[in-house]
Structure 1
């Protein structure tokens, strides 16, 4: 059974972590107070490609920096491969088929091996697992495994784009059938089971301007939240002024109408809704009724016919405006599902993160087309596919340039050779090597001669300032 922590144990865990951090910082300060000779032994000289004669620094710091750059390049390549898998609509295709010689694509094999891809996807985490249980208890956050990354991502969405005069607020369901304590069942959605998100989108472009996850009740005994629709709409539209917000009857309330200019559609099941006076007077006379909604589409309402004496032009304008603006979030859901990068997984943070990649890729397309509207105008029907393919390819190119061993596949090896000729990888002379002048010694040195580029030790090298070198 999984161990349950109480609040006192959680506080003790936090205190232990703080003490470990203080002890680590004190040990680092003690290690820094070394002699000048030891510091000089740790110094190194950069390779021949650098502009300076000799630069001091520890080998550990240089190695750590190289590992950090390598990890960033590899993670970027992983996300690029996920996007490319979505471009090929291989959501249900196995990874072995994507890397296969006959059924796969060369760009996957040229970027990384199948085993490396499986290792990265299996070990990818978005928080510190050791403190996750304590954060869940103290902060009472069900989104703790993804909270830090989610907050950083959600804060960037409204910074890059200004929506038009019409926005829409609706829910989105990220399909997931694994174990998740805030999983929802929505029979009207194609996935039926998954994680529910509140989304505000621009009506003209379906740009996701803000997203809030629905985490349910904090505890099972907690009372149901009252005014949830009002809270969601006000939180999502915070910072938007002078826009018309279109919602369905779930979000409609008197307090919300006092704060937000909402366009409400007449609904026979709606009770206590705020409608225009003329629509409210005629709601029971049969002039306005809902059609049977099609799958994955917002309910479309019929306009009053010209023969009905109760129908007016104002009522028709309200219904037409609602039908035009209501499907922005549904359109985003449809576009994201077309080229989705989500893979089969049992971890809900990974499933939600793949949805973040899908939404980010679509938002990037909207931003690019707002800057370059004439881009691939002749191929308007497949512009999104071309954009995603170019985006994924650009993300995997640095990893291909850094790869030292060629894959066994001839097509992947040829692709990798061409890519490395276009974008050469980092210089390999910066690694640790033995001094070429020493004989019989096994010590490893990290100094390089500026003239010949050979590795030299401290005994066979001299320090020359920039003025004397001229």
Structure 2
């Protein structure tokens, strides 16, 4: 019996047939028909993800802010200047990875000529000062109901476009990102386990193989009245996986629970992930480690859920839950559940590594600009994924992608 006394676990796998509708994909993995039709190069893929409709909102709001700050001295900004500014942001990110500072890029003798030829450093800094994503005049009224009011329209339009151009494969990773930021923000988070520790938290759903960012959600803090949200992990997973069907969701112990697994099965989705040992659905017998040999595994089952307790070190165990695996199979010394989890858990972490390597982020005290820089980084990476997939590059194939953990593990049987 579980700690809560409402779940009965068995040491024998269930003999009931699996849910035939689970893990039957309803969408073809890879680029969508719209991508195949419109993508000729990386630039055209970027234009799909960051279209003129979004950039026009930014352009209009930036001109309003420019006139408010500089008055008659403000020169109206057009599409060409905005695209030039975005291009320099990307280029500055490339050279920043080589240790070149922003001012050194405009230096007359040692700088990069393309920066001086595009615009002056003063113009670049003026645009960075006034770039805006909403109308400041009616922001206070909107901010009373929405903490993300300063960039909500642009953010929602952009997130809505992400799933239109690429369908994830059978495995989707859901995890959290932390955008480093130490300025004033009503929903800034402190996460001591992260390298940056302070920043803006974003929930992300990514394809486990290509790390394509398929859905994102900004965490804006506690609810009204300072009340903490109950079952937040389950709510986040259900929100981010709302339009998926037939996929397996891999998540860590913040999200994993028996109730979440049951809710996902109702949506024709399976789940696998580590689970915290204080969860009421776990039986006490599964957590015992005394006398257990190294690399030993202990399995428990219900009709549609499997648990495994694995001992990697003396008197230490890790517990995982899966609604995908129905038998306690062992791959070498480790259970198949753990091998599958290790192979599919890195979708969001790999995205972080890729967008950090050549990030266009600049130092700023404005949190909406932090989110906009993240939008640009992810758009560039997603555009590269779409372009390589449309051109059928081998990089997008899970067994040939450099560094892919799928090279080390293949399921014992098709799921």
Please provide the CA RMSD for this pair. 3.0
Match for residue 149 of structure 1? Answer: 154
Counterpart pick for 2:336 among 312, 317, 321 = 317
Give the number of the structure whose alpha-carbon radius of gyration is greater.
1
Q: Is the 8 A contact 1:336 1:362 kept in 2?
A: yes
Match for residue 251 of structure 1? Answer: 255
Do the aligned partners of residues 100 and 375 (structure 1) sit closer, same or farther apart at CA in structure 2, a change above 3 Å counting?
farther
What are the ranges of 5 or more consecutive residues in structure 1 without an aligned counterpart? 1-66, 292-299, 304-310, 382-470
C-alpha separation in 1, matches of 2:374 and 2:98: 13
State the shift of 1:96 in Å. 1.9
Q: Is the 8 A contact 1:81 1:108 kept in 2?
A: yes
Q: Is the 8 A contact 1:167 1:325 kept in 2?
A: yes
Q: Is the 8 A contact 1:233 1:251 kept in 2?
A: yes
Query: SS of 2:127's equivalent?
Result: helix
C-alpha separation in 2, matches of 1:203 and 1:312: 22
C-alpha separation in 2, matches of 1:239 and 1:376: 26
Match for residue 78 of structure 1? Answer: 85
C-alpha separation in 2, matches of 1:146 and 1:181: 14
Residue 128 in structure 1 maps to residue 135 in structure 2: yes
Map 1:56-95 → 2, pairs under 5 A: 71-89=78-96, 93-95=100-102
Match for residue 119 of structure 2? Answer: 112
Query: SS of 1:110's equivalent?
Result: helix
Offset from partner CA, 1:173-209 (integer Å, 9 cap, x none): 0000111110001111111110000000000100000
Match for residue 197 of structure 2? Answer: 192
Q: Is the 8 A contact 2:92 2:102 kept in 1?
A: no
Match for residue 280 of structure 2? Answer: 272
Name the structure with the higher strand share.
2
Match for residue 272 of structure 2? Answer: 263
Match for residue 229 of structure 1? Answer: 233
C-alpha separation in 2, matches of 1:302 and 1:263: 11
C-alpha separation in 2, matches of 1:115 and 1:68: 13
Match for residue 172 of structure 2? Answer: 167
Q: Give TM-score scaled by structure 1 length.
A: 0.57
C-alpha separation in 2, matches of 1:80 and 1:123: 17
C-alpha separation in 2, matches of 1:325 and 1:209: 15
Offset from partner CA, 1:365-401 (integer Å, 9 cap, x none): 0001001244999xx99xxxxxxxxxxxxxxxxxxxx
Counterpart pick for 2:365 among 339, 342, 346 = 346
Name the structure with the higher helix share.
1
Q: In the comparison of the two structures, how many residue pairs are matched?
A: 290
Q: Is the 8 A contact 1:249 1:270 kept in 2?
A: no
Do the aligned partners of residues 321 and 375 (structure 1) sit closer, same or farther apart at CA in structure 2, a change above 3 Å counting?
closer
Query: SS of 2:107's equivalent?
Result: coil
State the shift of 1:290 in Å. 6.3
Q: Give TM-score scaled by structure 2 length.
A: 0.64
Map 1:311-390 → 2, pairs under 5 A: 313=330, 316-374=335-393
Match for residue 242 of structure 1? Answer: 246
C-alpha separation in 2, matches of 1:187 and 1:194: 11
C-alpha separation in 2, matches of 1:86 and 1:273: 47
